[in-house]
Chain A
Amino acid sequence: MPREAEPSLNEKQFIVQALGEKLRLDGREFDQYRPLELTFGDQYGVANVTLGKTRVLAKVSAEVTVPYVDRPLDGVFTIATELGPMASPAFEVGRPTETEVLLARLLEKTVRRSGALDTESLCLVAGQKCWSVRVDVHVLAHDGNLIDASCFAVVAALRHFRKPDTSIASGQLTVYTPAEREPVPLSWLHSPFCVTWSFFGDDGETALLDATWAEEQVRVSSCTVSLNRHGEICQIAKLGGVPVEAVALLQCTAVALTKAKEFSTFLDGKLAEDAKRRNKGGFMAELSSENDR
């Protein structure tokens, strides 16, 4: 019978005691992230993000469906999260835990409600046909800070994704295969990133970035700020917990902005790298009749 891996009293006390002496278990600075890595899959729209031992896989898929009746000009955009027992013994199949609901809501608010994806561009025929874009977020390993890692994976996957090209001639919709026409990227407006602060101590006076699972289990409160690199807040969520000084929250937001800018540059670099890799030899290589055999 798997059980929630709750830390022992010794661990709880030690983590707090060590933080009091400005020590983290893995020797990081308080505002330092674990090494962030991003790899794209062979297909478009697959992003595999590892943040320390936390690992999240996001996969984007698209299909043509009928738009919602009340929004005939908008496409459909959904984000589905999956937290199974694979990620941690604390999660069960089928029953969404509070962690999962809050994660889904945060991703929804950060990516969907902030208008990162232009849903109007997904409309094909008003009221009749539209693209339905779906992001599946799978948490493969949980070692804390799922929110930041998942958000980064979702944004990376969506920006990497290419949907099949379409055309409409005399009311007839044609969807082209990748061989016929090069797939097209989504109409992307801005890239929001989540930065989560964890607070420790009786008054929440110690603030950490990128808490590990052990640290998350002893924190007294947390605050997630989503920002893009233009300095726009997309969402702030400090959902209860021990109260924290308002001034400290403002400082956290300022630091979060620099982190979001770093994320943004990192993602741009990775996307460019991947585009280069895919475009090996360019057009001439495609025309050439030589192959590996």
Chain B
Amino acid sequence: MADANPFQDPQRFERRVPPCALVIFGANGDLTKRKLVPSLYRLAIERRLPQGFAIVGTSRTPMSDEAFRQKMEAAVREHLENSHFDDAIWDEFARGLFYVAGDLASPDLYTTLTARLADVAQQRQTGGNILFYLSTQPSQYSTVARGLAPLARPNGGWRRLVVEKPFGHDDRSARELETALHEHFTEDQLYRIDHYLGKETVQNILAFRFGNPIFEPLWNRQYIDHVQITAAESIGVEGRGAYYQEAGALRDMIQNHLLQVLATIAMEPSAVFEPGAVRDERAKLLRSIRPFRPADVATHAVPGQYGPAAIGGKDIPGFRAEPGVDPQAMTDTYAAVTFLIDNWRWAGVPFYVRSGKRMPKRVTDIAIRFRPVPHSLFSSESARPNLLILRIQPEEGISLRFSSKQPGSGMKLRPVSMDFNYGTSFGMRTPTAYETLLVDAMAGDPTLYTRQDMVEASWAAVQPILDVWANHPPPGPFPNYPAGTWGPTAADDMLAARGHVWRVP
């Protein structure tokens, strides 16, 4: 499609955003204060917001525009990362901040909001373009979508709706949510945010795979032995005990973030780098994940829950002793799953995915282990298989491990590493996932957003595990791993059954 703006220069200018208003539901909440408004302010610093950009915050708390501005200024000052707070930019940014108080279930809120948005469109020349952002409890999504029904079909401009995860609690509730949202918004108006896909390093997987032809011939069952995806957190539930107890690691991390990462690692190249094409390939991969039969679950999935431990001289409570958590909770604070992908490229290659809280360190990475040499010329101990590690966080980068001759007489091999480090190679600040994703939504690019068929395919992959875990308590008693360790021994046994071991990230 030809660009209607002849003044663009894509080689030099960042992606442009058309004039618009962003309406945040849940504007008094944590996400708004910690992520959304600081990210938008960062975009303002980098001149990436359109002229007249406006934010209309809504929540139940009565507040004037001015009070909202002051609250957001305090939030930005507290949560702005790697940037200096600039008063002049804030003043300009704050002129576009407005606030509407009301109950999400009350039609009055939407009447007031409609009038306010008309004023804002006039005052800020937003052209009637509106991005709605649901930063509320998931249980309120359908209520808000219903309330926005009259606003969802514009006379002029565009309307889009951003929805935060979780997209349902299971496959059934995900479909119910879809029905509720689709009643008022079409699929191309819906932007389901998975902030993992907005991370630079996750996007870099696509660049690495499809921009470097030397790896593609190796990227299949013939050369890859198995893949390990790890998302470990060293912290516990940090005050989110009540929420987390209902979610668990499988729902909170694997069903969404890590399956999206898996899909990015394993998808086929799309013909073009366009939203529909890329998302089609991701969806196709997710649909290729082999569904578990109930009998398979015990051998392919391991739940875990951390117990108390002393780490570095400090006593760490077990999950059941965390505030807001039921002392008998059966929540999985750790989950490890062996996924198999039924297609020609990946048949027989296990994808081990694990995520847990209170692990020894915070790390997210993907390790691709290549097959060993077919016949070793050297001692079997020294010739280790190649390992490609894509580090998502921290120390984002890529490492390739291979064997090298140790200097000296004889032929002793030692593993060495070739490292690419994002920070040192580019030496500049990378945008946060929310900056990337907010610009994409305003610019109408859903490439990094999840589509309904992807959501359903992800639920289909984990639902049998959830069903079995809900109906059959785990074989060993919870807790089954002490805080500060790499998870339950049953997870090691799961890999050992295939002759593999978890690497230590």
Please indicate whether A and B come from the same complex rather than being unrelated chains: no
The interface of chain B, by Cβ under 8 A from chain A, is none
